[in-house]
């Protein structure tokens, strides 16, 4: 009987310490100002790039550090503990490049992965559209063959780092009428004629991570920029999300841990009725529940990371389960952290209100939690659950 879970190594432990120290010194101090200004956290990017933490998942043969899935999850968790917006730097680089790693030609890998690995470029993912959110198979963006080129026309919405990233994985319809089987994936460059961007969305949270529409107005690209074969884009998109939903889970765990850390420190020093509020049983129960939820979310996320590294058959179940549980945990824990701080938690002078705002998006992007529960239920009904159950 085998239980293929995750294995924490000394390297993982050392990585956690390194990224935690960097986040405390370079990222956390600027988080509130970046949130207030709604500007890309350039200082965080520079610090992450200097430490090779901006795109750690890229294999060594393409200039990256070749971090495994668990290391990438730990890194994103620790950054999000300080600033959820900054955590989207490695997170979205992974999201944008995973289609190439899974399905791209060697030519595409050699051309587009090294600049991301070096920090010269960033990579975004263009799937959602104004009328195709949860139902992305109904997308209207098209890619029409014209000789040895394709011409893209359409709009993508809710694109993280739009206008900042140099490269974009774009999903478009190449064979109308065939549903998911008619969707293909392409690499589009920011510099391609006809590519433009909308105004930045004014958001509740992750304000320092720019989100905008991307427009494709007769964008003509070489056919060799297709990722995989024509008609395989939908499969690539879904396989990508199986691997990247764990990064959203990691982001959510980090947000929740950051809020718990602050609530614990505050409860230990804040006095009422002549004693620290941490001495009151009612508050102790609240803090205990917060800690239990955070650790449960972390363990499920790490278990999903192990599945991602091995590309296990139950990855879809674990990826969706981890994303759902961790994001619900982040929302609950950050809300409770605001409660612990009372009136102070409701002000921008303290970071827990930002963490609460940031937590909300983790329940929405890369598939709403309602959709994730549908995915999990279908996996259960199909008899796909954990390796423990099968063994």
Residue numbers annotated as active site: 366
CB atoms closer than 10 angstroms to residue 49: 15
Written as six digits, the tokens of 116 are: 């991301």
- Where do we find the tokens 């990826």? 319
C-alpha 298/C-alpha 295 separation (Å) is: 5
Q: What angle do CA 341, 254, 3 make, to 5 degrees?
A: 130
Question: Are the beta carbons of 371 and 327 closer than 8 angstroms?
Answer: no
Radius of gyration of the chain (CA): 21
Q: Strand (E) positions, the chain?
A: 123-126, 142-146, 149-160, 167-173, 183-189, 195-197, 211-222, 226-227, 271-272, 275-276
Q: Which of 375, 346, 350 has its CA nearest to residue 134?
A: 375
351 CB contacts (<8 Å, ≥6 apart)? 31, 32, 258, 262
């Amino acid at each position: 009987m085998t239980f293929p879970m995750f294995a924490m190594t000394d390297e993982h432990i050392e990585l956690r310490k390194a990224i935690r120290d960097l986040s405390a010194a370079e990222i956390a101090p600027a988080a509130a100002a970046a949130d207030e200004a709604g500007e890309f956290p350039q200082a965080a990017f520079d610090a992450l790039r200097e430490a090779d933490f901006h795109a750690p998942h890229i294999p060594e043969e393409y200039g990256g550090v070749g971090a495994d899935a668990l290391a990438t999850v730990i890194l994103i968790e620790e950054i999000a503990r300080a600033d959820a917006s900054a955590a989207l730097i490695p997170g979205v680089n992974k999201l944008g490049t995973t289609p190439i790693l899974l399905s791209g030609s060697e030519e595409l890998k050699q051309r587009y992965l090294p600049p991301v690995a070096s920090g010269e470029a960033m990579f975004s993912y263009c799937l959602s559209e104004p009328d195709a959110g949860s139902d992305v198979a109904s997308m209207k963006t098209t890619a029409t063959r014209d000789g040895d080129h394709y011409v893209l026309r359409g709009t993508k919405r809710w694109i993280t780092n739009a206008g900042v990233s140099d490269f974009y994985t774009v999903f478009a319809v190449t064979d109308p009428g065939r549903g998911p089987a008619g969707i293909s994936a392409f690499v589009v460059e920011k510099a391609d004629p006809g590519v433009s961007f909308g105004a930045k969305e004014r958001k509740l949270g992750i304000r320092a991570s720019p989100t905008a529409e991307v427009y494709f107005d007769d964008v003509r690209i070489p056919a060799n920029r297709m990722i995989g074969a024509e008609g395989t884009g939908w499969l690539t998109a879904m396989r990508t999300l199986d691997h990247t939903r764990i990064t959203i889970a990691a982001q959510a765990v980090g947000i929740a841990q950051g809020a718990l850390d602050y609530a614990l420190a505050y409860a230990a020093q804040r006095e009422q009725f002549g004693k620290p509020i941490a001495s009151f049983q009612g508050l102790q129960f609240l803090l205990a529940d917060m800690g239990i939820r955070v650790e449960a979310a972390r363990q499920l996320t790490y278990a999903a990371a192990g599945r991602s590294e091995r590309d296990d058959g139950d990855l879809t179940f674990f990826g969706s389960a981890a994303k759902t549980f961790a994001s619900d945990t982040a929302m609950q824990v950050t809300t409770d952290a605001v409660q612990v701080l009372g009136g102070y938690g409701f002000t921008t002078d303290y970071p827990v209100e930002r963490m609460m705002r940031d937590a909300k998006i983790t329940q929405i992007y890369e598939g709403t939690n309602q959709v994730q529960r549908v995915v999990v239920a279908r996996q259960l009904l199909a008899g796909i659950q954990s390796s423990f159950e099968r063994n």
